[in-house]
Amino acid sequence: MRRGEFLDPHLVTVYDAECPWGRDDDFFLSVANESPRARVLDLGCGTGRLTLALAAAGHTVTGVDPARASLDAARAKPAADRVTWIEGTSRVLPDRAFDVAVLTSHVAQEIRADDKWARTLADLRRALVPDGRLAFDSRDPAARRWERWNPRDSRRRLALPDGRVVDAWTEVTEVRDGLVSFVHHYVFPDADELLSSGTLRFRTEEELRASLAAAGFTVDRIHGGWGGEPVGTSADGEFVVLARAQD
């Protein structure tokens, strides 16, 4: 049965098991903490892993996501009342309401069409105060990480909170014009298999820089990994982008 990974409550639980706190969360939290008690936007907040940590660090946090099942899971977590949760996209953002905005877990790659990406950046520029900070991650296409998304290299076992173990793997179905399509397979102990398909946009560094400039952002720096490595020198295979809203 094919379902949306962030829309189905069963798969939202699997997502939480598969995506615990990591080095990327440490990085984004440290970026926000450079602005003490900031007003922080987590766009594409999902089930709230980083969102809740930002609030616990003393920031005033708003989490926005279009997937209701993910937001329901976030709202059910301890201390969720510290966060303002909003179901929607960048279109719902108020003007000049945030000091820092983050898009994590490769949310930027979920925005595939160039016009929608441009609209998202324009909305973020509108929502940030002048000189407000934007941070996001996007996989470096030169690293070709999707080549590891095959039934052998991607196979993993996920332990759920109720004790069940799910067997999972990923397979790529198409690579074309900067887009990589794939299917996640999740096999539950009762042999029920759920499928979650998706497509991600892999933008080059030049494309990211051009789109940010067009939206009114100045790029401070782009790292190639979570340790601050130059692009192309880290096994992480990332673009970790830090930019500022122009006055």
In which band, very low, low, confident or very high, does the pLDDT at 3 lie, cut at 50, 70 and 90? very low
What rounded mean pLDDT belongs to the chain?
95
Mark whether 161 and 47 lie in a shared domain: no
Q: What pLDDT is recorded for position 7? A: 62
CATH code of 98's domain:
3.40.50.150
Of residues 223 and 247, which shows the higher confidence score? 223
58 in a structural domain: yes
Beta strand 39-43 with 60-65: parallel, antiparallel or unpaired?
Answer: parallel
1 in a structural domain: no
Are the CB atoms for 43 and 104 separated by under 8 Å? Answer: no
Total number of domains constituting the chain: 2
Mark whether 224 and 164 lie in a shared domain: no
DSSP readout, 92-133? GPPTT-EEEEEE-TTHHHH--SHHHHHHHHHHHHHHEEEEEE
Tokens of 68: 């209701």
Model confidence over 118-135: pLDDT tens digits? 999 999 999 999 999 999
Of residues 149 and 1, which shows the higher confidence score? 149
Q: What pLDDT is recorded for position 2? A: 41
Model confidence over 139-183: pLDDT tens digits? 999 999 999 999 999 999 999 999 999 999 999 999 999 999 999
78 in a structural domain: yes
Are the CB atoms for 108 and 87 separated by under 8 Å? Answer: no
Of residues 7 and 59, which shows the higher confidence score? 59
231 in a structural domain: yes
Residue 240 has pLDDT above 90, yes or no: yes
Model confidence over 24-51: pLDDT tens digits? 999 999 999 999 999 999 999 999 999 9
4 in a structural domain: no
In which band, very low, low, confident or very high, does the pLDDT at 6 lie, cut at 50, 70 and 90? low
The mean-pLDDT minimum among 2-11, 20-29, 114-123 falls in 2-11
Residue type, 240: V
Q: Which residues contact 190 (CB under 8 A, 6 or more apart)?
A: none
CB atoms within 10 A of CB 220: 12
User: What whole-number percentage of the chain has pLDDT above 90?
Assistant: 93
